[in-house]
Amino acid sequence: MFSDLGRQMTFTGTGKWTEDRAPHVFPNSAILNADGSVSPNTTNVREAEYSLWVDNYRLISENFVTPAWFIKLRDINLSYRVPQSLLSKTKIFSGASIAVYGRNLLTIVDKLNYYTDPEFSYQGNPTPGSQGTQTPTTNSSIGIGINTTGQTPPVRQYGVNINLTF
């Protein structure tokens, strides 16, 4: 899954990975010498707050590709129906129940995916009737595994339902 959201977080400096803004040697980096040999990089990154993250790291798409597997507790609903023997004493209600529910209570994702819920994916803006005939593109309605700042992620919901029958 590609996270354009991660790229935007890098650009704005809101991603945790951008918190080290002091001059430093970029980890696991190397230099290609003029003679074709490779040596470890020992040069500090200048302007780490901008140059490293915005001009370099953000432009490498692979930095924002993560495994898209997930496990989700999407919906849970617990209800209790009041026994008829109790309702007959009220002479007002012929039925009653109470229920509590929760949606999107838990999502487990790969440890490398710290951007978003994998179902939070770009859907495009298709032309009518094209869904079944197109190869997935950014203009088709088929989920293509790209998340951007253009979607609203799923929200966690809790609630109580009370049903009374007169």
Which of 11, 43, 65 is a domain's end point?
Answer: 65
pTM (predicted TM-score): 0.60
Give Cα separations from 3 to 59, 79, 112, 146, 153 (angstroms): 12, 39, 12, 6, 13
Residue with tokens 């799923």: 154
Q: Are residues 101 and 164 in the same domain?
A: yes
Instruction: Domain count for the chain, please give it.
Output: 2
Q: Which domain holds residue 81?
A: 68-166
Q: For residue 127, what is the enclosing H or E element? A: none
Q: Are residues 72 and 45 in the same domain?
A: no
Cα distance from N-terminal residue to C-terminal residue, the chain = 52
Q: Are residues 26 and 94 in the same domain?
A: no
Nearest to 4 by CA among 69, 12, 106: 12
Give the up-direction half-sphere exposure of residue 53: CA atoms within 13 A in the CB hemisphere: 23
Q: Are residues 149 and 166 in the same domain?
A: yes
> In this predicted model, what pLDDT tens digit does every residue of 31-67 receive, in sequence order?
999 999 999 998 887 665 667 777 777 888 888 888 8
